[in-house]
Amino acid sequence: MEYRALLVSEAQEKQFTAQVTTLDTDNLPAGEVLIEVQYSSLNYKDALSASGNRGVTREYPHTPGIDAAGIVRESANEQFSSGDEVIVIGYDLGMNTAGGFGQFIRVPAGWVVRKPKGLALRDSMCLGTAGFTAALCVDKLLAAGLEKDHGEVLVTGATGGVGVVAIALLSKLGFQVVASTGKPQASDWLRDFGAADIIDRAEMSEENKRPLLKERWAAAVDVAGGNSLLNILKTLRYGGSVAACGLVESPVFQASVLPFILRSVNLLGVDSVELPIERKQAVWDKLSSEWQLESLEKMVTEIGFDELAASLDKVLKGQAQGRYLLNLQS
Ligand SMILES: NC(=O)c1ccc[n+]([C@@H]2O[C@H](COP(=O)([O-])OP(=O)(O)OC[C@H]3O[C@@H](n4cnc5c(N)ncnc54)[C@H](OP(=O)(O)O)[C@@H]3O)[C@@H](O)[C@H]2O)c1
């Protein structure tokens, strides 16, 4: 069966081109479940894959897209039947397995989550991996003992996908949220999602040799890494936690043990990709019920194949604000 997809190819050595083309489902990888993708979304990792980053995708030609939501068309696994509405995020989807920027994917059943009743397929991809990861960060902070009366919670990379969903979710749960952003012009937009205060990203990434700074944050969701993560550790209040999920500033930071042994702070690692499927299902179930966000539509720009390449470029350059939803039927 023929379908449309974005195909990234290496035209000349280290020169990559991306174009929308017609492919055939016969050439999809082996797998138990064939899914007709209705929606996908754009993540930083997709922008890397689409620009030829071999740390993400080893072999080209390739169709990126780490997120997909759609309808099962064929299943060799008894857990799924034709017509089921499902979500696939992470594992190898879009990395070295043809991903959600095509109208069909074929994947192992172990990657597939049944779409919860309370969440539309479209809404699941308004969230996508970024929104799912924000929820995972919040889940980890709560499990580490965070409570509403502990004080302010910081979110870095606030206008990005993880950031804006983390702000909306923490604010819905009654936390006092402070947004760190490099886009001061987006302050009102961030307040609309529940940010009580805004700080400049440059303030967070400032170098400071002192091993501890004045305590401020009860907790933090950090997508930056680098100096920002170091400064968060130095400014967490006694017993506070940071959920670290990203590296937009830097994958490297040079911490001292003092915040850990003098203030008993917690550095919580967050990975959405290899998370066991039962945990993935549980987080999606939460996002469809008590954590359902009313503000999803406001954070999303819907695009079709025509706008895909330009939007990926914006994500790669850190210029995107909120989430891009890809409608594969348009
Ligand atoms: N661990 C996981 O499972 C997982 C899952 C999803 C994403 N991630 C990672 O989380 C990070 C954010 O993902 P995303 O989808 O939210 O990306 P995104 O939508 O591209 O947003 C990233 C945001 O970070 C801020 N930023 C950009 N350059 C920066 C810099 N040099 N220093 C500090 N902040 C900068 C910008 O927000 P402001 O202008 O508002 O500061 C930007 O909008 C990425 O590193 C991604 O790989 C990890």
The model's pLDDT over 162-185, given as tens digits with 9 standing for 90+, comes to: 999 999 999 999 999 999 999 999
195 lines ligand 1 (CB under 6 A): no
249 lines ligand 1 (CB under 6 A): yes
User: At residue 14, does pLDDT exceed 90?
Assistant: no
- The ligand 1 atom at the shortest distance from the C-alpha of residue 248 is 45
318 lines ligand 1 (CB under 6 A): yes
- The ligand 1 atom at the shortest distance from the C-alpha of residue 158 is 40
User: At residue 330, does pLDDT exceed 80?
Assistant: no
Is 0.95 surpassed by the pTM of this model? yes
Residue 157 CA, ligand 1 centroid: distance in Å: 5
User: At residue 13, does pLDDT exceed 90?
Assistant: no
Helix (H) or strand (E) holding 306: helix 305-316
Q: Which residues contact 156 (CB under 8 A, 6 or more apart)?
A: 163, 180, 201, 204, 220, 221, 222, 223, 224, 228, 232
3-state SS, residue 181 = strand
What percentage of the chain carries pLDDT values higher than 90? Answer: 96
- Which pLDDT belongs to residue 319? 86
- The ligand 1 atom at the shortest distance from the C-alpha of residue 315 is 20
User: At residue 107, does pLDDT exceed 80?
Assistant: yes
248 lines ligand 1 (CB under 6 A): yes
* Helical H segments across 108-257, by residue range: 121-143, 161-172, 187-192, 201-205, 226-235
Residue 250 CA, ligand 1 centroid: distance in Å: 11
Encoded tokens for 172: 């819905």
User: At residue 70, does pLDDT exceed 90?
Assistant: yes
Q: Which of 126, 158, 143, 153 is nearest to 246 (CA)?
A: 158
* Residue 45 and residue 91 in contact, taking contact as beta carbons nearer than 8 Å: no
pLDDT single digits (tens) 29-64: 999 999 999 999 999 999 999 999 999 999 999 999
* Residue 64 and residue 50 in contact, taking contact as beta carbons nearer than 8 Å: yes
- The ligand 1 atom at the shortest distance from the C-alpha of residue 43 is 15
Superfamily of domain 2-115+295-327: Medium-chain alcohol dehydrogenases, catalytic domain (3.90.180.10)
Distinct helix (H) and strand (E) counts, the chain? 9, 15
CATH topology agreement for domains 2-115+295-327 and 131-269: no
* Residue 134 and residue 64 in contact, taking contact as beta carbons nearer than 8 Å: no
Residue nearest to atom 22 of ligand 1 (CA): 160
Residues 277, 112: Cα–Cα separation, whole Å:
8
Residue 320 CA, ligand 1 centroid: distance in Å: 10
Residues 98, 14: Cα–Cα separation, whole Å:
20
Mean pLDDT, the chain, integer:
97
Q: Is the peptide bond prior to 64 cis by the omega test (within 30 degrees of 0)?
A: no
Domain regions of the chain by residue span:
2-115+295-327, 131-269
Residue 192 CA, ligand 1 centroid: distance in Å: 20
The one-letter code for the residue type at 78 is E
Multiple choice CATH, 131-269, 3.30.70.260, 3.30.70.360, 3.40.50.720, 3.90.550.10: 3.40.50.720
Residues 62, 98: Cα–Cα separation, whole Å:
6
100 lines ligand 1 (CB under 6 A): no
